[in-house]
Amino acid sequence: MRVIVTGGAGFIGSALVRHLVIERGAEVLNIDAMTYAGNLASLRDVAGRANYRFLKADICDSAAMAQAFADFRPERVMHLAAESHVDRSITGAADFIRTNVIGTFTLLEAARSHWEGLETAAREAFRFLHVSTDEVYGSLGTEGLFAETTPYDPSSPYSASKASSDHLAKAWHRTYGLPVVVSNCSNNYGPYHFPEKLIPLTILNALAGQALPVYGKGENVRDWLYVEDHARALDLIAARGRVGETYNVGGRNERRNIDVVRRICAVLDELRPGAAPREELIAFVADRPGHDARYAIDASRLEGELGWRAQEDFDSGIAKTVAWYLDNAWWWEPLRERYAGERLGLRAG
């Protein structure tokens, strides 16, 4: 199986590349532009393998994409390259529109032109998995879950750009017949996560004895999924998902942000006892503009049709994650020098 993974130097992309190359023995071409979020250190375990290749290229570059498809002749595309941080999208949305919308369009066109040139059997087997987020559905109240049929209602420039790209992917299926499948996943966490997002930022600030910023009152709820569970889900959806369909991915692990931060403090206090409980470092800060109250996923289609189950619950996954950061300072120390946790995404005034 020859698979193009875009964004394979990012957080989820690198977990997927490790899964495909090491566990599944697939031949992988990782296409990544290496923005601030791309990190080849996350691919150290696959870098020397014969079934892994890396191409530094921008998915908005149509000539480079056409060349990559012609050279590698993929049987499957798994598209993860994106600008992914909501706060950055509030500070400046241009890169999000460019990569997430124009980049997805460019990649769909490259895939279509490659797919149209295939023999019948190869055309039928070809898959384009578009990887997206549950944030496209907007915000839930205290009850209910996002289903695949929930209407789109994105709040942030990030989620609006992802919603646009989901519509493009579906339209390329309906209009041109390209065998597209879409996945919408809840918040991920785990090893190799860039320390601008809540969980790695909290772990590293707590370890350094620095303030632990919590937006608003910390009552926003997210449905957390361990990144390796997501990688397995993506592999299954690309292999066996129904063409033209959407699959929601989530671990049934809803937590308020404040409880996530407290849990990390408790695990760290146990593994690396400090002078005072780390909870004392919690600092409530101005809320994110347009902050969605609650996300929660109904993953029953993925579980029922494809037999997927999350292997980690939040407590087991967070314990593994904290332990990983304690053992892998070589990976995150250079990133902390480049980004020390400055607040992003506040509107002026």
The residues assigned a catalytic role are: 134-135, 158
Instruction: Read off the tokens for 218.
Output: 């910390």
The residues, ordered by sequence, that sit 6+ positions from 284 with a Cβ below 8 Å of its Cβ are: 214, 215, 216, 217, 218
Task: Using the minimum distance from each CB to ligand NAD, give the nearer residue, 83 or 235.
Answer: 83
Give the residue nearest to ligand NAD (CB).
Answer: 10
Residue choice 4, 46, 64, 82 for contact with ligand NAD (CB under 6 A)? 82
321 contributes a contact to ligand NAD by CB under 6 A: no
Distance (Å, whole) CA 288 – CA 156 = 10
Q: Which stretch binds ligand NAD (CB under 6 A): 5-13, 292-300, 307-315, 318-326?
A: 5-13
Over the range 119-154, which residues count as b (16 or more CB within 10 Å of their CB) and which as e? eeeeeeebbbbbbbbbbbbbbbeeeebbebebeeeb
Residue choice 22, 34, 97, 266 for contact with ligand NAD (CB under 6 A)? 34
80 contributes a contact to ligand NAD by CB under 6 A: yes
131 contributes a contact to ligand NAD by CB under 6 A: yes
Instruction: Read off the tokens for 21.
Output: 């190359």
x-or-dash string of contact with ligand NAD, 285-314, rule CB under 6 A: ------------------------------
- Work out how close the CB of 256 gets to ligand NAD at its nearest, in angstroms, rounded to a whole number: 17
194 contributes a contact to ligand NAD by CB under 6 A: yes
16 contributes a contact to ligand NAD by CB under 6 A: no
Residue 243's H or E segment, with its range, is: none
182 contributes a contact to ligand NAD by CB under 6 A: no
Beta bridge partners of 131: 183
Over the range 5-28, which residues count as b (16 or more CB within 10 Å of their CB) and which as e? bbbbbbbbbbbbbbbbbeeeebbb
Task: Using the minimum distance from each CB to ligand NAD, give the nearer residue, 263 or 278.
Answer: 263
Distance (Å, whole) CA 182 – CA 2 = 19
Residue choice 59, 108, 110, 268 for contact with ligand NAD (CB under 6 A)? 59
- Show the DSSP H helices in 180-313 as ranges: 198-208, 227-240, 257-271, 300-306
Task: Using the minimum distance from each CB to ligand NAD, give the nearer residue, 185 or 281.
Answer: 185
90 contributes a contact to ligand NAD by CB under 6 A: no
Residue choice 3, 5, 13, 203 for contact with ligand NAD (CB under 6 A)? 13
Through-space distance between the first and last CA atoms of the chain, rounded to whole angstroms: 53
Q: Which stretch binds ligand NAD (CB under 6 A): 79-87, 166-174, 213-221, 310-318?
A: 79-87
Instruction: Count the Cβ atoms, other than its own, within 10 Å of residue 45.
Output: 13
Instruction: Count the Cβ atoms, other than its own, within 10 Å of residue 311.
Output: 12
- Work out how close the CB of 31 gets to ligand NAD at its nearest, in angstroms, rounded to a whole number: 6
The residues, ordered by sequence, that sit 6+ positions from 177 with a Cβ below 8 Å of its Cβ are: none
- Work out how close the CB of 27 gets to ligand NAD at its nearest, in angstroms, rounded to a whole number: 20
Applying CB under 6 A, which residues contact ligand NAD?
A: 6-7, 9-13, 32-35, 37-38, 58-60, 80-84, 99, 103, 131-133, 162, 185, 187-188, 194
